[in-house]
Amino acid sequence: MSALKGSGMRIVDVRATTVTVPLEAPLRHSNGAHWGRFVRTIVEVETADGLVGLGEMGGGGQSAEAAVAALKPYLLGHDPARTEALRFMLANPTASLYNNRTQLVAAIEFACLDLLGKHTGLPVHALLGGAVRDEVEFASYLFFRYPSADGTGEVRTPDQLVAEAARLKAEHGFRVHKLKGGVFDPGHELESYRALAHSLPGDRFRYDPNGILSVEEAIRFAHAIEDLDNDYAEDFCYGLNGMRRLRENTRIPLATNTVVVNFEQLAANVLQPAVDVVLLDTTFWGGIRPCVRAAGVAETFQLGVAVHSSGELGIQLASMLHLGAVVPNLAFAADAHYHHLRDDVIVGGKMAYRDGRIAVPDAPGLGVELDRTKLAEYAELYRELGPYPYDRDPGRPDWYPLLPSTQFADPRATGRPAALAGEPY
């Protein structure tokens, strides 16, 4: 432990609250779906002087709340300004083979940076080297969707996808559009993606089937879209070697958020390139600071970077905005699921897009505050509804995907699956 001067703050409590927040409609993906809502766990780290730092992580319930509570013996008495020490206290690389705490460390890191910012009166971006932009551009994140409980919101056909993109563009100003695929057969998804691109001339596009295509199918799909304004081909097939074979067979730059998610993989990709653009996720990488470091490596080796979304409420979104604010080599729009949410747990409600961009928070710390009424409301909703299986498709209860997959959902199947009967959204 360093004897050097710290902040003087001392952690005295750590709390976790799991919430579920409604989505406009269930979002489909290659492994299943978000069943009409997100389940997230909000983490609060309190110091002796009464400051509260905020963190957030995906999933939740008793296991997440217990996992956060189990960190208390490590964190009580710790100075949140010693953020780098957390990596080794909680997730030493070899000890983590046994405890897999990276996502917990990320939530605690957000909270510690929030505390340090509140303590010093500085926004997190100022603690990370300083903002080089004051707003971050986002892509419209388009999903195939089941209808919501009120029957609205279905996205299944190319026409429905085009209409949904037009609606989101009109509402939020997006100029970049990402289609999450891997749901229907590649022929249907190719027709949908091409219809999307033709409907919005001048905009840019990206397609992400979550690695589910065979390498040969991925090459075929890439050839069929090379005439469009593609940002990149994101995880068309799985694995560094699969992506490397695809890269040898297409002119489209490749991106991943699945197979370069730590520094070992980043080094492997530098030594033997498989992707051109690394999507940085503040949770997967263990915090905002590791993402900034990874962006620095990418800058050195002239790889592209973008900001990944693993599903977020306002606290996680703030982590993405501060990351986007300080990375000079961010040449792509960020991803966010955020606009699919009906509500948020932060004071003031959902942050707003303007011209496809969200302003970087500038108040001390992460710059967002918990709305205690909303937190209680959505914690109660979680207790009522419980979790949902993210990797199960409510429309195909007996199905699970192989990798590569050849069994896709039927694009002719309309309506809301029976398995969603207990879900209110």
Give the interface with Mg ion as residue ranges (CB under 5 A): 208, 257
CB 169 within 8 A of CB 54: no
Structure tokens at 148: 């919501």
What minimum distance in Å lies between the beta carbon of 237 and Mg ion?
12
Rank residues 208 and 423 by Cβ distance to Mg ion and give the closer one. 208
- Pairing type for strands 204-208 and 230-234 reads parallel
What minimum distance in Å lies between the beta carbon of 10 and Mg ion?
39
Does the annotation count 198 as an active-site position? no
Rank residues 154 and 208 by Cβ distance to Mg ion and give the closer one. 208
* Sign of the torsion formed by the C-alpha atoms of 115, 116, 122 and 126: negative
What minimum distance in Å lies between the beta carbon of 43 and Mg ion?
24
Query: Which of these is catalytic: 34, 180, 188, 340?
Result: 180
Within 13 A of 308's CA, how many CA atoms are on the CB side? Answer: 28
Rank residues 47 and 257 by Cβ distance to Mg ion and give the closer one. 257
Rank residues 31 and 47 by Cβ distance to Mg ion and give the closer one. 31
Torsion angle defined by CA atoms of residues 337, 342, 344 and 349, in that order, rounded to the nearest 10 degrees: 120
Rank residues 157 and 258 by Cβ distance to Mg ion and give the closer one. 258
Question: 């040449």: which residue's tokens?
Answer: 331
Q: Residue 16: beta bridge partners?
A: 43
* SS percent in the chain: helix, strand, coil, step 5: 35, 20, 45
Question: Exposed e or buried b for every residue in 58-96, given b needs 16+ CB within 10 A?
Answer: bebeeebbebbeebeeebeebbbbbbeebbebbbeeeee
Q: How many residues does the chain have?
A: 425
Query: Which of these is catalytic: 125, 172, 178, 308?
Result: 308
Does the annotation count 78 as an active-site position? no
By annotation, the residues acting in catalysis are 180, 308
